[in-house]
Structure 1
Amino acid sequence: MAIFKWQNVLCLQLLVVLFAQAVAVPEYRRLPPLQEQASIQDAWTAERLSNVPQLLRKYGVDAWLMSQKEYAEDTVFWSLKSATQFSARRRTVDLFLANAVEGTSFSYTWIDNTPTVWSELLVVLEAQNVSSIAVNADTDVAFSSGLHAGELNKIIKELGPKWKKKLVVEPMLGVEFIGTMVFNRLGWYRQLQETTWAIISEAFSESVIEPGITTTSDIEWWMREKIQQLNYTTWFMPDITILNAEDPFGNLSSTARRVIQFGDLLHCDFGVTAMGLNTDTQHMAYVLYPGETQEDIPEGYLGGLKQVNRLQDIVKSNMKIGTSGNDILKTSLKQMRSEGFEGRIYCHPIGDWGHSAGTLIGMANLQDEVPVLGDLPLLDNTYYSVELYAEYFVPERNETMNFYLEEDVYWDDEKKDWEWVWGRQEHFHLINPPVNDLFRTQTDL
């Protein structure tokens, strides 16, 4: 009878795995050879650069000027360079024109450490009859404030008083150039996101976690090693926490529990980087007790996951193009509270950078509004991380817990709506007990 019960448990767990596979099983996506990656990335960059004149006309400036030296690059440099450039060289000067004179180029680049760069730049400005020149010297928006103070002084000195008067700051140039994703990036971005899910799925499994032995730090370093094995990299250290033991965004003391036990609710904050793109994902997992199946997950935990899924829906539905992040935040929080629950919203653009260019929809510590960055308009043709948590009372613990999720979305220009890049978590990752624990438990009955 004991062996029969044990076999039933194994069969139930196998059915759960097969059901999950029928829904969607993320696979590791291998990157192409480096030379092929470079060609793909350079094609994306060429397409993005071709849109610059239109972008300049949209914001009413004649030219866009960037100047940088090696290891003191403008933030925008990293989105317009070739894939085989690892830094600026000598003095690297880029000039883009909104309405180039017929027969001339709309873009110019100088890589030089002599006065020639300035004399040739002046010739182009005069010939193009430029009346306004945007420089990235904004005081608040990081993606439009990459012009180093020394370079700004150098530009003013070399171009002289006449051209100094024509220098202007238009922060949306850097924001929109970096934030806009060309369509052909999506296929690869989806593969990066699937790989992110695949790493999380394996990390949150019995192949990596042994309750009573494995620590949260062990999983974090396993994820780093897995990233390395796949020839990806990452833009932040993976973070694993035990939700029923500590708050992932609170002050963690040295005494906070790190060893994973049966019945723990786990949380990860994880992302990968490849081909000039970044992902950002937060998922949750449940550690089954010996003899448990998916049916034994505490109802309070299931309710919390459903609640945070609902908050995702609310935020995504309110992400209207052209609306400020602050307005999206206020509308979403109001709708959340009208439905009778609490939470926090802190969504950010993603793409070239993990925290990329665009409006912010809240921050973890700013739930009324985000100064400046929250006032920017939401752009289309971009990617966003829908990052948030919902509060939910868990009867089994007699306490209200925070349930955290984060998934990346992209703008579908045909549907005129936001879509999940690869999907969203609607079921917990499950860590099944080792077979020896199952056998021991069942034979003791």
Structure 2
Amino acid sequence: MIQSTGLKTLVAVLLSVGVAQSSAATREPQYVTLPSLREQLAITDAWRSERIANIPNILKKYDVDAWLISQHEHAEDTVFWSLKRATQFAARRRTLQLFLASPAPGLQSSYSWIDNTPEVWSNLLDVLEAQDARSIVVNVDAEIAFSGGMHAGELVEIQRRVGEKWQSRFVAEPMVGVEVVGTMPRGKEGDRLKWYKGLMETAWAMIGEAFSERVITPGFTTTEDVEWWLRDKVQAMNYTTWFQPDVSIIGKDDFGDPNPSPIQPKNVIHYGDLLHVDFGVTAIGMNTDTQHLAYVLYPGETEKDIPQGFRVGLKKANRLQDIVRENMKIGMTGNAILTKSLEQMKNEGFDGRVYCHPIGDWGHSAGTLIGMFNLQDEVPVLGDLPLLNHTYYSVELYAEHFVPELNKTLNFYLEEDVHWVDGDQWDWVWGRQENFHLIHSKAANQEGFFVQEL
């Protein structure tokens, strides 16, 4: 609860959010239709080529000579999915990939062999001998998925096949895999970000329709109904998703529990409810992640009738978004960003939690973590990685606010994706929520009763 001594801070919070209105979406989001699969293939393969062309620069940055990846079908290395062609649905036989920082004369910067005979090893050894690489990165990190995707049996086989000379030069450099996956290709005329904006706009459009009277009838519709409406809409649009949508009623459901019940009951939505959704779409090799809030208007109510306590809670969450984004400095660790953000939040007189993650090829992608829901002091290992540029992030958090109208403290959850712009600047991919989605009442019939559509 805000004490009297925090009144000036609260006023400053509201004013700062008011100034930031330009960060909200400037028009109603529309559904973005995806191109044909054939067109998508050309787009994503161009991004893949750009990413592979950048690998030598990353190897030089971390002062290593080569990067060796090996996998089998159904036992792919995690980074395989960011380096494969669009028409590759899995690794085949043994799939070996080798990347060189500074190829010797007559050699290439990248190699890929698909074979299940001893010839694959002789091909690899020929290149290693010609290059005489002094350090060869292998993905065997114990903590970071994007740097630890080599299966244990595969490592044993590689060591046996290449011999003591080359296995003695194997090194673990986790930032290679992290940076390769975490660095977003620019694409032709920046088309990767353009398409990512389209995905985000579509996610906003889906949430806007789901949180409307077209989908929700108070007293009848459940939160689970809305979740499955979203799943059906995603499929109808030829998108997919990377997690089950979660719709909850703030103050009634246990959203945010790090160990939620798999059979959590879903509630019927009623007038006056504050709704929350956690939702993401997947398409063209990219993922989004968004959390928005909605209010169910009573019959005859308009936006001005939203409880003031709800309005202030949303503005606090907006302020926390600004604090985190302002503290996202390239090269800082996620733990340092977390500490500075929480300190600033406390100094401004309110409470909340911060748990931001990289996004892109994966929903939870490669890069440093800025807190986790249950880890607000520091995140071991992943929180110690440096923040990279040329990447996308989900700014995920909540602010606490005592709502006088309900006589209880509620958590106001928000999540929006940002993209790196330049220096230490980050911008919202589509915008950020600054006003509640509104569920209006159905029109009344001649007798004055609100009609449930079947």
Q: Smaller-chain TM-score range?
A: over 0.9
1:199 is the counterpart of 2:206? yes
Alpha-carbon distance in structure 1 between the residues aligned to 2:262 and 2:61: 51
Asked if the contact 2:25/2:432 (under 8 Å) is kept, the reply is no
Post-superposition Cα deviations, 1:26-77, rounded to whole Å, max 9, x if no partner, equal 0000000000000000000000110111110111111000000000000010
Show the counterpart of 1:170: 173
Post-superposition Cα deviations, 1:243-265, rounded to whole Å, max 9, x if no partner, equal 03223123569685610000000
Show the counterpart of 2:367: 358
Unaligned runs of 5+ in 2: 1-23
* Residue of 219, 239, 245 corresponding to 2:246: 239
Pairwise CA distance, 1:436: 1.2
Pairwise CA distance, 1:182: 1.4
Pairwise CA distance, 1:102: 2.7
Show the counterpart of 1:431: 439
Pairwise CA distance, 1:440: 2.3
Alpha-carbon distance in structure 2 between the residues aligned to 1:91 and 1:232: 31
Post-superposition Cα deviations, 1:165-205, rounded to whole Å, max 9, x if no partner, equal 00000000000000000123101000000000000000000
Show the counterpart of 1:144: 147
Alpha-carbon distance in structure 1 between the residues aligned to 2:269 and 2:279: 18
Pairwise CA distance, 1:104: 2.2
User: What percentage of aligned pairs have identical amino acids?
Assistant: 64
* Residue of 322, 338, 352 corresponding to 1:329: 338
Pairwise CA distance, 1:103: 3.5
Taking structure 1 as the reference length, what is the TM-score of the superposition? 0.92
1:95-114 map, 5 Å: 95-114=98-117
Show the counterpart of 1:74: 77
1:272 is the counterpart of 2:281? yes
Asked if the contact 2:25/2:431 (under 8 Å) is kept, the reply is no
Taking structure 2 as the reference length, what is the TM-score of the superposition? 0.90
* Residue of 226, 234, 245 corresponding to 1:227: 234
Query: Are residues 222 and 55 of structure 1, via their aligned partners in 2, closer, same or farther at CA, if it must alter by over 3 Å?
Result: same
Asked if the contact 2:309/2:402 (under 8 Å) is kept, the reply is yes
Asked if the contact 1:390/1:402 (under 8 Å) is kept, the reply is yes
Query: Are residues 422 and 399 of structure 1, via their aligned partners in 2, closer, same or farther at CA, if it must alter by over 3 Å?
Result: same
1:55 is the counterpart of 2:66? no
Unaligned runs of 5+ in 1: 1-20
Deviates further, 350-359 or 246-255 = 246-255
Alpha-carbon distance in structure 2 between the residues aligned to 1:74 and 1:362: 26
Alpha-carbon distance in structure 1 between the residues aligned to 2:445 and 2:275: 20
**RMSD (CA atoms):** 1.7
Alpha-carbon distance in structure 2 between the residues aligned to 1:69 and 1:58: 29
Alpha-carbon distance in structure 1 between the residues aligned to 2:180 and 2:99: 12
1:15-26 map, 5 Å: 23-26=26-29
**Secondary structure of the equivalent of 1:35?**
helix
Which aligned segments of 4 or more residues in structure 1 are displaced greater than 2 angstroms?
250-257, 437-442
Show the counterpart of 1:6: none
Post-superposition Cα deviations, 1:104-162, rounded to whole Å, max 9, x if no partner, equal 21111100000000011101100111111100000111110000001100110000011
**Counterpart amino acid of 1:399?**
K
Q: How many residues align?
A: 421
